[in-house]
Amino acid sequence: MTSPASTPARGSSTSRRDVLTVVTITTAVAGGCALAWPFLETLTPPDDTAAHAPVDVDLTAIAPGQQITVMWRGSPVFITNRPPEALAKLKSPELVSKLRDPDSLIVQQPPYATNWHRSLKPEYSVLVGVCTHLGCIPTMIGGSGDPAVRTFLCPCHGSKFDLAGRVFKGVPAPYNLPVPPHRMLSDTMLRIGENPEGEHFDFSSIVQI
């Protein structure tokens, strides 16, 4: 079921990844509907300036344990409200021992998200939902059960990521899911696409999307 791990260079496998992305967006949307999770999609802006515009998300609309998807720069971004039991799971030695890069040593996130929860606010994860193997769109599994056991599963070759986007060992995806620049406009309003004041993270500097 799995294929060998690979590290597609930027650009060299763009066409293949684009096709996979188009195909699997359909799968991801269908999966999201089946689990009754909201899918919030921003319309593709008409010009390049708008396409790179930040996206604001009202976090009060996401219940504990719930995940929504928004579009940013043409890619899905998963935002998950992680309740205390899910946060405790992220630190559990049993889970950590199964992860390929539990401490986020590889630059797949901004410095301000290089921590055990890979985000600004522990309660909320903000992840680019593009598998680091060949670009399919993972979906959350375990939706109706204990939030602590939920993970993201890639439908293409079975790569698995925890609720911080950290990849498990023994799967084709080589890297954690990317974390986009993000900052809080207020306690409840998230902006994707901008760094917090004083931070200068360039998203193109991550190892792979």
Q: Which residues bind ligand FES (CB under 6 A)?
A: 131, 133-136, 154, 156-159, 172-173
Measured between its terminal Cα atoms, the distance across the chain in Å is 22
Using the minimum distance from each CB to ligand FES, give the nearer residue, 152 or 201. 152
Measure Cα distances from 48 to 25, 51, 56, 163 in Å: 22, 5, 18, 31
Minimum CB distance to ligand FES, residue 38 (Å): 23
Residues 6+ apart with CB under 8 A from 33: 39
Closest to 112 (Cα-Cα) out of 180, 204, 51, 10? 180
Would you call 117 a catalytic residue per the annotation? Answer: no
Using CA atoms, how far apart are residues 14 and 199, in angstroms rounded to an integer?
Answer: 30
Q: Which of these is catalytic: 52, 133, 157, 182? A: 157
- Which residues are catalytic, by number? 157
